[in-house]
Structure 1
């Protein structure tokens, strides 16, 4: 644990990429394989399921520090992070314990905590805290709660491993695909497999049974902003690009090798069993085939809203009714491997041509190409996106190779998305942020009117009643919460809103403050659908703040009827 804490401190102390890579290389050079296996897992985004309830940790910290609960809560509100608060309030460590490795901490101490009685969990965690310094306590509590994060990207971890083992970073990236899947425990053998010497050039043609299902790292797109009139100068003529509709589904790879089919999500989750109909479609593919594409619910000859796919994913059992209500297809748009050979270095046009041949007799769908005379003409077609059930366009360089992650070294993919849906909402609740924004209220809840106010006076009467803390009357005019957002503003704007929140707080509910309605915000979101789980009956997808509407009086904020109209298009 000490070595991992030293690495964490080094990564957290610098923003320079070279310093982070150097710190990682130093760690990998001296760490035991079993410890490095867990370090790579956490650094690459893997998380443990919470092993001790938060309530147990809070009560234990109060007892160990000898502070009342209210003082701990005030400290937590000031710090903004539970693990950091606990690490600071605990008394100084006495005699530090024996230096155990990270693997021993995880496998023999943390994981056995799950399922123990709360009293036994508290006893063991208290003894562990007493063995560690402040940084070690912070990391241990983060790992116990399943909330470990550090300022290093997966690409940097792959780069450091590649330099340490003198391998191509792309090879390491491919080997790491699926490494953080929760169903596979990190081990020395898995870590050493990441560092194994490169096989001959034809390695892709012969795979051992234990890695036959290995996917490739996904190539990610950059957001394209600006006016289409400027694209000619920035991107050249449209003929240089393959243009496709951007589907709103789950990015996935289908891997067919050794007579089996694997389906991987972009998040590196193995999701094969969730999509039996796609497995059936992929089974006829020849061994040594890997496809990149999108899993989409397809109804009435068009893509259905993502919300339907989300409901399907949440089902524990895939009954015939579930499969029938949300039929999924795979929209293929790239060929990564064919006949066991890696095709990613081939030009996109060559990969596309071969993909068309591969799927000539398949019931899988091929992503349709979009053509237009110029960029303004494409912009006109893009307006049809919502009507078609898509999010805009994908632009892919014709001669580009298939890269790794969000990089421009192999060419570029752009996502030219349609403008978000918008609504004007009133700020009604606020909560402090995390990290560097822990002392500022940055997480907001917004409301709309349940109907259009007759005039400013009627709306003001409701606002006055809220200020007096009077509950809303059934059937009367009221503000109904419908969305939460925490991004989109500058630091200066967050500071401005924070001052308004503090001056207009009505009540406190733990970390949340109810706020006297004072500000209107324009919110943007990618999708909207009905939701019986929300008081408003409506849920938005990826809401964020576009601007503060200082120009708009509260009584002119939007209504539930406005949101209903967006649902109906």
Structure 2
């Protein structure tokens, strides 16, 4: 645990990629295999389930620290992180421990079925064996809030340095539905395991955002264009297993979603084994994608009711072929992969839940720019531009794939509530609720917490502290005075919100010092946008 804590501190305290990779590589070269396995799991989002509520932890920490609970609650929003607040208020440890990371995780998991008194005694005893830095990491595991600033690509690079294995092979090995309970470090990293590989997706190829015009990319004949669909990026896999041909559906976030989309159960009937398609999962009305809000109703569900299957059926709009007849095609040029995909998918029966995502002719960059303007009418976010010669690489590689998104929708709104942030912005007000006019009333319709500079956050924080009208726990109601331009990617009806709408990816585009309160937009303006783009 001490070695893992030191690793966490090194990664958390630097923004330098090489420093992070070097620290990880050194750790993987020295730590026990069981701890290495859990480190890979934790850094890739496979966290143990939270066994104790944060409410209980706050009470126990205040008791052990000998301070009233109200004082702990006052300190918490200032520190901005519960795990760190607990680590800071606790008294020095009575003794030291040298347990492994695996041992401590087993310790936490053993509390799942215990009664409250047993859990409390176990947690207090654990705190009493750790210094502040170890407590911080332990508390993050305990609260289910363990996150660290390392991407899977960097972790894979560090593993490659530590083991001498090929980075692409390691990236493939780490994909899939594994946990530390279902495998070992040797099986995951070292040993050949062809059966387990049957269900694994390929690491996804990602695109950079195009900041300038596409004319900077060179001649248009070197590029292929398609819509950037507003759905869930996924891979549909059909492979032979010991029991026959099976299918698997994976999201870009490496989540196995096979059961959530039963429409693809027919994959074994229409796709030959040894096929992997990359594309966008969208809700489909029979001829075109439905709004993302229709698909969102299915996200997070383990089972889908019949009514939802009927109202929001899904298909895969395929745009790449990664494997055919068991052959890995990723090194081939995109134009070749795309032609082979069109031939395969184009020959499927009409009732197959897979369609080729149509390519868009590029007569000129100016003509393509005009086509891009119609993206929202096509339920798309913009265009994708892919080099005809590009291989399917793992992660992002600047220059091959670009996403040319539409400018966001915007609306001017009034800030009416404010809440402090967390982490390095724990002493600033960064989370705001915004409203629009409905007659003479301000109706809240969204929250946003990003988009301003640190200087602007400091300025608005000073204003909030002087203009608070009422407090509701950590939330402050402020004098309606400031107008902000809110940018967002989409709008959908929402009966759960008083305004009747919900925004997708709202953020603050700018602080409208030039606009008086009365000139903020209205609820009617929002509903007009809903009719046009919802």
TM-score bracket for the superposition, by shorter chain length: over 0.9
Is it true that 1:529 corresponds to 2:515 in the alignment? no
C-alpha spacing 1:103/1:217, structure 2 compared with 1 (3 Å): same
Is it true that 1:193 corresponds to 2:192 in the alignment? no
Structure 1 counterpart of 2:460: 497
The whole-number CA distance in structure 2 between the counterparts of 1:568 and 1:495 is 37
The whole-number CA distance in structure 1 between the counterparts of 2:183 and 2:307 is 42
**For 2:224, what is the secondary structure of its paired residue?**
strand
Q: How many residues align?
A: 524
Structure 1 counterpart of 2:150: 152
C-alpha spacing 1:444/1:86, structure 2 compared with 1 (3 Å): same
**For 2:315, what is the secondary structure of its paired residue?**
strand
Cα distance per residue 1:314-336 (max 9 Å; x no partner):
44532322211101011000011
Q: Is the 8 A contact 1:250 1:296 kept in 2?
A: yes
The whole-number CA distance in structure 1 between the counterparts of 2:195 and 2:228 is 35
Out of 167, 184, 193, which is 1:169 matched to?
167
Q: Is the 8 A contact 1:506 1:513 kept in 2?
A: yes
The whole-number CA distance in structure 2 between the counterparts of 1:6 and 1:118 is 31
Structure 1 counterpart of 2:284: 298
Structure 2 counterpart of 1:396: 386
Q: Is the 8 A contact 1:45 1:154 kept in 2?
A: no
Q: 5+ unaligned residues in a row in structure 2: which ranges?
A: none
**Segment of structure 1 superposing worse, 67-76 or 392-401:** 67-76
Structure 1 counterpart of 2:436: 448
Q: How does 1:358-437 map to 2 (within 5 A)?
A: 358-362=344-348, 363=352, 364-408=354-398, 411-437=399-425
Q: CA deviation at 1:119?
A: 2.9
Q: CA deviation at 1:193?
A: 3.1
Structure 1 counterpart of 2:230: 248
Q: Is the 8 A contact 2:41 2:179 kept in 1?
A: no
The whole-number CA distance in structure 2 between the counterparts of 1:244 and 1:263 is 22
Structure 2 counterpart of 1:542: 505
TM-score, normalised to structure 2's length? 0.95
Structure 1 counterpart of 2:197: 211
Cα distance per residue 1:60-101 (max 9 Å; x no partner):
01000011112111211211111101000000111113x111
Structure 1 counterpart of 2:29: 29
C-alpha spacing 1:365/1:505, structure 2 compared with 1 (3 Å): same
Structure 2 counterpart of 1:471: none
Cα distance per residue 1:400-451 (max 9 Å; x no partner):
101111223xx52111111111111111111111211111111111111123
**For 2:432, what is the secondary structure of its paired residue?**
strand
**For 1:344, what is the secondary structure of its paired residue?**
coil
The whole-number CA distance in structure 1 between the counterparts of 2:115 and 2:70 is 25
Q: Is the 8 A contact 1:34 1:188 kept in 2?
A: no
TM-score, normalised to structure 1's length? 0.89
Is it true that 1:356 corresponds to 2:342 in the alignment? yes
The whole-number CA distance in structure 1 between the counterparts of 2:46 and 2:336 is 36
Structure 1 counterpart of 2:239: 257
**For 1:518, what is the secondary structure of its paired residue?**
coil
Q: CA deviation at 1:16?
A: 2.1
Cα distance per residue 1:376-419 (max 9 Å; x no partner):
111111111111111110000000101111223xx521111111
Q: How does 1:30-109 map to 2 (within 5 A)?
A: 30-97=30-97, 99-107=98-106, 109=107
C-alpha spacing 1:317/1:44, structure 2 compared with 1 (3 Å): closer
The whole-number CA distance in structure 2 between the counterparts of 1:360 and 1:273 is 26
Q: Is the 8 A contact 1:37 1:187 kept in 2?
A: no
Q: Which runs of 4+ in 1 moved over 3 A?
A: 187-190, 314-317
The whole-number CA distance in structure 1 between the counterparts of 2:465 and 2:396 is 40
Q: Is the 8 A contact 1:25 1:161 kept in 2?
A: yes
Q: Is the 8 A contact 1:260 1:283 kept in 2?
A: no
Q: CA deviation at 1:509?
A: 1.9
Q: Is the 8 A contact 2:320 2:337 kept in 1?
A: yes
**Segment of structure 1 superposing worse, 4-13 or 134-143:** 4-13
C-alpha spacing 1:49/1:533, structure 2 compared with 1 (3 Å): farther
The whole-number CA distance in structure 2 between the counterparts of 1:151 and 1:131 is 27
Q: CA deviation at 1:187?
A: 4.8
Cα distance per residue 1:8-55 (max 9 Å; x no partner):
122223322222112111111121111111111112233333221010
**For 1:299, what is the secondary structure of its paired residue?**
coil
Cα distance per residue 1:346-398 (max 9 Å; x no partner):
00011011111211321320010111321111111111111111111000000
Cα distance per residue 1:194-240 (max 9 Å; x no partner):
4327x7xxxxxxx73232101100011111123x3xx32x1012211
**For 1:423, what is the secondary structure of its paired residue?**
strand
The whole-number CA distance in structure 2 between the counterparts of 1:412 and 1:534 is 41
**For 1:294, what is the secondary structure of its paired residue?**
strand
